[in-house]
Amino acid sequence: MKLHNDIHNYYEHLIVERIAALGLDKTHTTDYLADLCCLALNQVPPRYIRFEVDMAFYLPQSERQQMEMNVDYALNKAREFLDRDSSREVGN
C-alpha cells in the first residue's frame, strides 16, 4: 500500500537545508551524508506534511525555531558519532 507521493517528513527538508548551509555537502561523500541524514532523522520526531506551504503558513515562529534547534542538535550528535566511528577505522 502506498499512501501518497506528496507525504513526507518536514524534518527531511530542514536537515538537508542545514547540511547545505553548513557546506557539508561540499566536504563529505554521499555515503557520509546519507548516514548523517538517517542518524539525525532518527533523533527528531516525525512531522509529516503534504505541502511545504502548509508549514510556512501555519507553523508558529517559536515552533519553527524549536525545530531548527532540534535539527542542529541531531546533526551535531550524528556528526560526532560518524566522525568518532571513522577515526576508529582509520586507526585500524
89 within some domain = no
Residue 59 falls inside a structural domain: yes
**Residue 18 maps to a domain:** yes
Mean pLDDT of the residues in the chain? 89
- pTM comes to 0.84
42-72 pLDDT, tens digit per residue, is 999 999 988 888 787 888 999 999 999 999 9
Does residue 2 form part of some domain? no
**pLDDT at residue 1 is higher than 60:** no
What DSSP line would sit under the chain, residue for residue? ----TT-EEHHHHHHHHHHHHHTHHHHS-HHHHHHHHHHHHTTS---EES-HHHHHHHS-HHHHHHHHHHHHHHHHHHHHHHHHHHHHHHH-
Task: Flag whether 50 is in a domain.
Answer: yes
Domain count, the chain: 1
